[in-house]
Amino acid sequence: MAFRVLVVDDASFVRETIKRHLRALIPDIELLEAPDGRKAMSIVKSKPVQLILSDWEMPEMSGEDFLKWLRSEPDYQSVPFVMVTSRGDRDHVVAAIQSGVSDYLSKPFTPEELQRKVAKQLKRIGYSRPKGAAPAPSSETSASILTGAAKKPVQKPREVRSATGFGKPKAAAPPAKKKGFAGAAVLRFPECQIECDIRELSLQAMQGFMGRPERMPGLFEQAAVDLEDEQGATLARLNAYVHALVAAEARPDSGQIRITVRFVDNDPEKFEVLSKLIAAG
């Protein structure tokens, strides 16, 4: 019998990313997906699932409301529920745990982080890999956790590095800012965060300039985008992916990079906030 997992997120890009990494960890997996809590509720009523990974902020029905309903159902009071969210502040996480989540995963996440969180829940419920299945991914997050093998030393929290500097010649000044949103953005990647000077902002995407970072983000890499006002206050947080990276100068040591990220959220509330910011500019 397949091990059934439900992935809930309003962004199809995020769902596909999670599903891809789960397949590498659970060979007998059957994946189900839903864009919001209401559709997820319909699914679990008809198909019992053994593990749920769900976004917290979604249209129609939030992850919190879905979880509250889930925990009221006798068959789902102890099913592992991993919250996946771009809001990693302590108060938010504490509130989610009090609501009954089993664990949480902050966006953007690395494959190793996702697999480690899921492997922890698989071990808790006694999941065992089918005989003859290919070995689990060779990292602390998989075989060592599932089989109870000796653990590697706990890694230190990953360092969040600024993109400013990099020992490169000073780049030519980017073109004058166009009319529009007057603030800036902070792009949060799994292993670093990068300040970005916005040049164009729409409901679908953002283009801006950033200093060349030590670790260059890759195309299609996840990012959480914090839009900030001129005083540095966060006005909106959106999930996105890297769509394009271009050197600002025609030289290999260019110190400025033009980056384009495309938003993946499908949440009307986020669209409304973004629309107001664009209109105000």
- Are residues 120 and 190 both part of a single domain? no
- Are residues 100 and 206 both part of a single domain? no
Backbone angles phi, psi at 163, to 5 degrees: -85, -10
- Per DSSP, 47 falls in state S
Report the C-alpha gap between 144 and 25 in whole angstroms: 12
- Are residues 84 and 205 both part of a single domain? no
Q: What pLDDT is recorded for position 3?
A: 95
**pLDDT, averaged across the chain:** 83
- Are residues 135 and 259 both part of a single domain? no
Cis peptide before 108 (omega within 30 of 0): yes
Give a yes or no: residue 211 inside a domain.
Answer: yes
Q: CA–CA distance from 95 to each of 8, 10, 21, 89, 195 (Å)?
A: 19, 21, 27, 10, 29
- We report the CATH number of the domain holding residue 143 as 3.40.50.2300
Kindly report, residue by residue over 153-182, the tens digit of the pLDDT.
Answer: 444 444 444 444 444 444 445 555 555 677
- Are residues 41 and 115 both part of a single domain? yes
The answer to whether 104 touches 85, Cβ cutoff 8 Å, is yes
pLDDT of residue 43 exceeding 50? yes
- We report the CATH number of the domain holding residue 233 as 2.40.10.220
Number of domains in the chain: 2
pLDDT of residue 258 exceeding 90? yes
Cα 232 vs. chain centroid, distance in angstroms? 22
Kindly report, residue by residue over 222-248, the tens digit of the pLDDT.
Answer: 999 999 888 888 888 999 999 999 998
Report the C-alpha gap between 176 and 232 in whole angstroms: 21
Question: Tokens for 184?
Answer: 């800036």
pLDDT of residue 261 exceeding 90? yes
What is the span of the domain harbouring residue 62? Answer: 3-147
Instruction: Please count the residues of the chain.
Output: 281
Give a yes or no: residue 7 inside a domain.
Answer: yes
Query: Lowest-confidence range among 127-131, 135-139, 192-196?
Result: 135-139
- Are residues 196 and 120 both part of a single domain? no
Q: Residue 13: which pLDDT band, with cuts at 50, 70 and 90? A: very high
Report the C-alpha gap between 102 and 163 in whole angstroms: 34
Residue with tokens 């980056």: 259
Q: Helices then strands (H, E): number in the chain?
A: 7, 11
pLDDT of residue 189 exceeding 80? yes
Global pTM value: 0.76
Q: Reduced to 3 states, what is the DSSP secondary structure of residue 132?
A: coil
Q: What pLDDT is recorded for position 166?
A: 40
